[in-house]
């Protein structure tokens, strides 16, 4: 395969260096790992939503040929160090801590809650073992909804909490809420629901854990968004020193927020590996993934909005109840982010925000791409609903209420500066691309023929990483570290704590470093996935474009200074006169002086330069610089078949501003992939429970992911309006598509159904629901 050469790599759609292995089946995912003597784990899982565990009998499983060991929840607790959920602890969650065990001990709390682990010579045999485990349960009343969970009489899912409140009710006010609402010409009230849906990466969770008893070292091959976060969890729970735990990761088959750190099952598998003295692999199957890996969203909102008759948005007062599922985690943390993001790019006089998080007998609420996304859905939905009632065009309503782009920047009422936010520009551009007036004519004509077309827009801002806070010394998302080294063979190696799982960091970081250092793209190697060699880091939160792109840029710059310093001795020239281009170091103005970087690297490694710093390595950090927002407006045109409720997306256009693009094709892939998940959320995907907490979407026949026939071509246009930082103007783009596609689509569907007077207060619109909405709206006529 020919090398990739470009004048400047950053900003070009350089072909991915990940692809040659991925396209040939040579990628190495966790399930591809095979260690000598490796065993396979499977879990016995609860068939009940809420029950006491009276007994667990493993004797038949242990007696089965091929089964090596089996452990109950209590036995796993005895093999490990009790503690709270590792991620909760890491994120410093406050409030009362529910009882937490790796496997269920005294009671099961959702359908799929793991009760016992069986370890056998193959996964087939491990599942055979699970089949013969006998568990005696005593049914408890299921807590199948947040509303029931918050009723005083609901049975506490965690006895030590005494109730089902995971995050105590809180209220915060910005501006004078009561005066704003009292003085408003119009006040609207809405109740809006967002349904439970989930990440569903094509590769589920999984690990291979291997314990070397002689060295006392645990090695875990993981599917994770951070090898270091996984290591912390393993060390904490197994009671080991951090330096005795090594976590490695290869290719990872997607995550979307699911694989932050090590899950309960992975920790149980690691404990089992230590106990049996042989490596243990656990890779969840699709049933486990859908039932037990975690789910997201499911929030209900009561929204009041204060507006003027002319459509000036003055105030919002929002109450949210989150259904955290059984083991509270991310669900308790999301309300704070929602509150901060609630104003979006709009100028508000006042904001009230109340939240409560309720524990229920469902799979736990986890982070899913844009965890706070429901606030954007609610805001962008409410704007369309109000615009209709006020007789104002929803596009005009938005334009009118965007905070003006001023210097100094307007402040969100919740505190952050809206610096470089180009919502207005993206809205203008997207409506221009779609030609809304022409569409309205076509829509009117189609309605005459009994066809129902609709157009919808929605806008978002995403802290990716967010602006530098005026009063804070550090950057918007902590610090990012990177070790950079010129290896003996002339390769510039970047050691990063990022753990790519589809984001293409091995390409994008190499593009930046190649440009900055002055070597060809192929001469940069991005090293990930080994706690022994990479610094702390986490891939998530759309932070890596700025944070890691930035540290790659500054780190390459620092490494270059060091290399030129060394070269200056070798080449007997002042470092100031040296430059690096195309992999050669040369004295400015003297092409004949060129020495390959690889030759300089070889010399440095030769050990002949005692008086010179020949250790061509730097440790760089970056605080995010000026940071900034990623911003965009999307527009969808849909057609609804009113007899079947099927929705066809005729056109979808995204105009986004994520600053300077590192690799346009990769950016567009992120946007399109996010939009596809948003389309899935609205039209197809629901993690369905019945009223007794039985899970009804445990296969891919029931949990429906969008296919190539469900996702249209997604047109993407980029704005790159406002450089904020001297060097680093790349902003993250991982979450925006998923955040803004649901309101875009629902707004378009409601527009299509306007002749029937349909108003939509929910996110999930399968065909049967659309037909129901039309029937309900027309029944009263």
Partner 1 sequence: MKLPSVEYEAPTAVAEAVGLLDEHQDEASVLAGGQSLIPLLALRLARPAVLIDINGVAELSGLTVTDGWLAIGAMTREYVAEESATVASTVPLLAAALPLIGHEAIRSRGTIGGSLAHADPAAELPAVAMALDAEFVVSSRAGDRVIPASEWFEGYLSTSRRPDELLIEVRFPAARRGTGVAFLEVARRHGDFAIVGLAVSLTLADGAISDARLAFAGLSDVPVRAPEAEEFLVGARPSENLFEEAARLATAGIDPPADLHGSPEYRKKVAATLIRRGLRAAVADADERW
Partner 2 sequence: MDITVTVNGATHSGCVEARKTLADFLRDDLDLTGTHVGCEHGVCGACTVIVDGRPVRSCLMLAVQAAGSEVTTIEGLATDGGLGPLQQAMWDSHSFQCGFCTPGFIMQATAFLRAHPDAGERQIREALSGNICRCTGYQSIIDGVLLAAERSRQG
Q: Contact positions toward partner 2, by CB under 8 A?
A: 1, 13, 15-16, 18-20, 22-29, 31-32, 34, 122, 124, 200-203, 251-254, 256, 285-286, 501-504, 665-666, 669, 672-677, 699-701, 705, 707-709, 711, 713-714
Q: Token digits for 248?
A: 């490695």
Residues 265 to 294 in contact with partner 1, rule: CB under 8 A: 285-287
| Residue 47 binds partner 1, judged by CB under 8 A | no
Rounded Cα distance, 735 and 743, in Å:
14
Rounded Cα distance, 352 and 425, in Å:
28
Among 780, 450, 777, smallest CA distance to 641 is for: 450
| Residue 451 binds partner 1, judged by CB under 8 A | no
Instruction: Choose from partner 1, partner 2, none: what does 1 bind? Cβ within 5-8 Å by kind.
Output: partner 2
Task: Tell me if the bond preceding 408 is cis, omega within 30° of 0.
Answer: yes
- Kindly indicate which of the ranges 90-98, 136-144, 536-544, 701-709 contains the residues binding partner 1, using the contact rule CB under 8 A: 701-709
Nearest distance, CB of residue 648 and partner 1, angstroms: 12
Nearest distance, CB of residue 772 and partner 1, angstroms: 7
- 3-state secondary structure (DSSP) of residue 364: coil
**Residue 258 or 421 having the CB closest to partner 2:** 258
Rounded Cα distance, 669 and 675, in Å:
10
Q: Which one of 15, 62, 123, 451 is in contact with partner 1 (CB under 8 A)?
A: 123
The H-assigned helical ranges of 391-489 are 394-401, 423-434, 436-448
Nearest distance, CB of residue 284 and partner 2, angstroms: 11
Listed in order, strand segments (DSSP E) in 337-450 are 350-359
Nearest distance, CB of residue 669 and partner 2, angstroms: 6
**Residue 283 or 455 having the CB closest to partner 1:** 283
Q: Which one of 574, 615, 619, 707 is in contact with partner 1 (CB under 8 A)?
A: 707
Instruction: Choose from partner 2, partner 1, none: what does 138 bind? Cβ within 5-8 Å by kind.
Output: none
| Residue 63 binds partner 1, judged by CB under 8 A | no
- Count, residues near partner 1 per rule CB under 8 A: 30
Instruction: Choose from partner 2, partner 1, none: what does 669 bind? Cβ within 5-8 Å by kind.
Output: partner 2
- Kindly indicate which of the ranges 236-244, 538-546, 587-595, 706-714 contains the residues binding partner 1, using the contact rule CB under 8 A: 706-714
Nearest distance, CB of residue 61 and partner 1, angstroms: 14
- 3-state secondary structure (DSSP) of residue 37: coil
Do residues 120 and 66 make contact, with C-beta atoms less than 8 angstroms apart? yes
Do residues 345 and 423 make contact, with C-beta atoms less than 8 angstroms apart? yes
Here's the x/- map for partner 1, 670-699, by CB under 8 A: it reads as --------------x-x-x-------xx-x
Nearest distance, CB of residue 701 and partner 2, angstroms: 6
- Kindly indicate which of the ranges 458-466, 663-671, 704-712, 752-760 contains the residues binding partner 1, using the contact rule CB under 8 A: 704-712
Q: Token digits for 209?
A: 């854990």
- Paired strand residues for 218: 211, 245
Instruction: Choose from partner 1, partner 2, none: what does 441 bind? Cβ within 5-8 Å by kind.
Output: none
Instruction: Choose from partner 2, partner 1, none: what does 689 bind? Cβ within 5-8 Å by kind.
Output: none
**Residue 84 or 254 having the CB closest to partner 2:** 254
| Residue 309 binds partner 1, judged by CB under 8 A | no
Rounded Cα distance, 662 and 396, in Å:
33
Among 55, 148, 61, smallest CA distance to 108 is for: 55
Residues 127 to 146 in contact with partner 1, rule: CB under 8 A: 127-128, 131
- 3-state secondary structure (DSSP) of residue 748: helix
Q: DSSP assignment of 641-704, as one string?
A: -TTT--EEEEEEEEEEE-BS-S-HHHHHHHHHHHHHHHHHHHHT----B-TT--B---STTTS-
| Residue 701 binds partner 1, judged by CB under 8 A | yes
Which strand (E) or helix (H) includes residue 288? helix 286-292
Q: DSSP assignment of 200-248, as one string?
A: --SS--EEEEEEETTTTEEEEEE--S-HHHHHHHHHHHHT--GGGEEEE
| Residue 711 binds partner 1, judged by CB under 8 A | no
Task: Region of 605 please: left (phi>0), alpha (psi -120 to 50) or beta.
Answer: alpha
Burial class (CB in 10 A: 0-12, 13-18, 19+), 226: buried
Do residues 59 and 133 make contact, with C-beta atoms less than 8 angstroms apart? no
- Kindly indicate which of the ranges 121-129, 296-304, 386-394, 520-528 contains the residues binding partner 1, using the contact rule CB under 8 A: 121-129
Instruction: Choose from partner 1, partner 2, none: what does 31 bind? Cβ within 5-8 Å by kind.
Output: partner 2
Q: C-alpha distances in angstroms, 622 versus 185, 201, 468, 480, 651?
A: 48, 30, 13, 5, 40
Nearest distance, CB of residue 665 and partner 2, angstroms: 4
Instruction: Choose from partner 1, partner 2, none: what does 24 bind? Cβ within 5-8 Å by kind.
Output: partner 2
Q: Token digits for 350?
A: 């006042």
Nearest distance, CB of residue 668 and partner 2, angstroms: 8
Q: C-alpha distances in angstroms, 733 versus 185, 333, 405, 412, 660?
A: 38, 22, 21, 21, 11
Instruction: Choose from partner 1, partner 2, none: what does 314 bind? Cβ within 5-8 Å by kind.
Output: none
| Residue 46 binds partner 1, judged by CB under 8 A | no
Instruction: Choose from partner 2, partner 1, none: what does 771 bind? Cβ within 5-8 Å by kind.
Output: partner 1
Q: C-alpha distances in angstroms, 470 versus 76, 273, 339, 475?
A: 48, 49, 19, 10
Do residues 208 and 280 make contact, with C-beta atoms less than 8 angstroms apart? yes
| Residue 772 binds partner 1, judged by CB under 8 A | yes
Q: Token digits for 678?
A: 């948003």
Q: Which residues bind partner 1 (CB under 8 A)?
A: 123-124, 127-128, 131, 285-287, 643-646, 684, 686, 688, 696-697, 699, 701-702, 704, 706-707, 709-710, 766-768, 771-772
């Amino acid at each position: 395969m020919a090398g990739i050469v470009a004048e400047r790599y950053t900003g070009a759609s350089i072909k991915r260096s990940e692809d040659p292995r991925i396209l040939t089946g040579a990628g190495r995912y966790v399930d591809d790992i095979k260690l000598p003597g490796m065993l396979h784990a499977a879990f016995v899982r609860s068939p009940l939503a809420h029950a006491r565990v009276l007994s667990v009998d493993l004797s038949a499983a242990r007696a089965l040929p091929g089964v090596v060991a089996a452990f109950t929840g209590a036995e796993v607790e005895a093999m490990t160090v009790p503690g709270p959920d590792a991620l909760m602890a890491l994120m410093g969650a406050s409030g009362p801590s529910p009882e937490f065990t790796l496997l269920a001990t005294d009671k099961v709390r959702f359908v799929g809650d793991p009760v016992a682990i069986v370890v056998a010579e193959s996964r087939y045999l491990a599942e055979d073992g699970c089949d013969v485990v006998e568990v005696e349960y005593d049914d408890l009343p299921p807590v199948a909804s947040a509303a029931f969970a918050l009723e005083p009489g609901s049975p506490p899912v965690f006895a030590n909490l005494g109730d089902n409140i995971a995050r105590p009710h809180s209220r915060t006010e910005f501006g004078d809420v009561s005066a704003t609402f009292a003085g408003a010409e119009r006040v609207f009230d809405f109740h809006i629901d967002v349904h439970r849906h989930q990440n569903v990466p094509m590769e589920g969770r999984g690990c291979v854990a291997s314990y070397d008893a002689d060295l006392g070292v645990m090695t875990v091959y993981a599917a994770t968004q951070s090898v270091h976060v996984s290591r912390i969890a393993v060390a904490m729970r197994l009671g080991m020193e951090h330096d005795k735990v090594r976590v490695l990761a290869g290719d990872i088959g997607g995550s979307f927020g699911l694989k932050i750190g090590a899950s309960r099952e992975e920790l149980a598998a690691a404990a089992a590996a230590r106990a049996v003295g042989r490596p243990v692999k656990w890779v969840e199957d699709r049933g486990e993934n859908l039932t037990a890996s975690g789910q997201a969203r499911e929030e209900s909102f009561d929204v009041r909005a204060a507006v003027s008759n002319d459509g000036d948005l003055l105030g919002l007062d929002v109450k949210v109840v989150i259904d955290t599922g059984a083991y509270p985690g991310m669900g308790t943390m999301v309300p704070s982010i929602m509150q901060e993001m609630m104003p979006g790019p709009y100028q508000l006089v006042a904001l009230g925000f109340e939240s409560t998080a309720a524990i229920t007998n469902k799979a736990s609420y986890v982070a899913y791409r844009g965890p706070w996304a429901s606030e954007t859905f609610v805001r962008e939905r409410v704007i369309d609903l109000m615009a209709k009632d006020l007789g104002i065009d929803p596009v005009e309503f938005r334009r009118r209420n965007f905070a003006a782009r001023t210097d100094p920047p307007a402040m969100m009422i919740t505190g952050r500066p809206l610096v470089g936010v180009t919502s207005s520009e993206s809205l203008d551009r997207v409506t221009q691309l779609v030609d809304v007036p022409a569409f309205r004519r076509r829509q009117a004509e189609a309605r005459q023929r009994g066809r129902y077309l609709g157009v919808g827009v929605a806008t978002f801002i995403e802290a990716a990483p967010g602006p530098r806070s005026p009063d804070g010394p550090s950057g918007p998302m902590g610090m990012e570290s990177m070790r950079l080294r010129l290896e003996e063979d002339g390769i510039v190696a970047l050691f990063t704590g990022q753990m790519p799982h589809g984001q293409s960091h091995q390409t994008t970081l190499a593009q930046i470093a190649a440009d900055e250092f002055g070597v060809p793209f192929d001469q940069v190697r991005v090293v990930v996935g080994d706690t022994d060699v990479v610094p702390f880091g986490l891939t998530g939160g759309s932070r890596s474009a700025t944070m890691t792109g930035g540290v790659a840029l500054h780190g390459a710059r620092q490494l270059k200074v060091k290399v030129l310093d060394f070269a200056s001795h070798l080449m007997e020239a002042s470092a100031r006169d040296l430059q690096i281009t195309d992999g050669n170091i040369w004295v400015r103005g003297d092409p004949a002086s060129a020495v390959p970087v690889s030759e300089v690297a070889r010399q440095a490694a030769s050990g002949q330069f005692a008086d010179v710093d020949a250790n061509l390595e730097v440790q760089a950090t970056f605080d995010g610089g000026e940071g900034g927002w990623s911003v965009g407006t999307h527009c969808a045109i849909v057609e609804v078949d009113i007899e079947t409720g099927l929705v066809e997306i005729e056109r979808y256009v995204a105009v986004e501003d994520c600053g300077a693009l590192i690799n346009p094709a990769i950016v567009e892939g992120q946007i399109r992939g996010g939009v596809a998940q948003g389309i899935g959320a609205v039209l197809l995907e629901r993690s369905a429970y019945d009223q007794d907490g039985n899970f009804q979407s445990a296969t891919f026949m029931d949990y429906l992911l969008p296919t190539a026939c469900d996702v249209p071509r997604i047109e993407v246009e980029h704005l790159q309006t406002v450089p904020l930082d001297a060097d680093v103007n790349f902003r993250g783009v991982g979450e925006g598509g998923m955040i803004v596609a649901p309101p875009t689509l629902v707004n378009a569907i409601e527009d299509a159904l306007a002749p029937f007077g349909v108003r939509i207060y929910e996110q999930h619109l399968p065909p049967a629901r659309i037909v129901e909405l039309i029937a309900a709206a027309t029944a009263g006529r």
